[in-house]
Amino acid sequence: MTESELQRRGPNIDAALLAYLLPVIGPAYILALRKEDSFSRYHAMQSLSIVAALILAPAVWIVFSWLISLLPFGGVVAAYIFALVVAVYLAVVVAWVVGIVNALRARRSPVPFFGRILRV
């Protein structure tokens, strides 16, 4: 199916929603098998930016905590900085809900906080 045929039929809301409901498998399916569907590809990339935030936030905190724990009171500082990881996870929940709503309303709006990371 060509791009013009897809545009005439309208956006594929089901595939875009799948990108958010199955965070890694959904975008992989869309990027591998639905290359012509730009709407679904856009939401797959938005979903991948959310997944990247989910993975990077605790990974950065672990490395930073390990480095700072060598200093006196470093463990206490690392514990306080963990609040940033919690804040990122709350932002992920907001971005995930907004992404699902955007997909259901057939909008191409970037998700808050993470939507501009991976551009299509």
Specify if 110 maps to a domain: no
pTM of the model: 0.81
Q: Mean pLDDT in runs of 10 for the chain (120 residues)?
A: 57 91 92 90 92 93 90 87 92 94 92 74
Specify if 111 maps to a domain: no
Report the C-alpha gap between 96 and 50 in whole angstroms.
Answer: 7
Specify if 114 maps to a domain: no
Q: What is the pLDDT of residue 120?
A: 54
- Assigned token pair, 112: 């808050």
Q: What is the pLDDT of residue 5?
A: 54
Specify if 112 maps to a domain: no
Q: Which domain holds residue 69?
A: 3-104
Q: What is the pLDDT of residue 89?
A: 94
Q: How many domains does the chain have?
A: 1
The DSSP call for residue 44 is H
Q: What is the pLDDT of residue 6?
A: 47
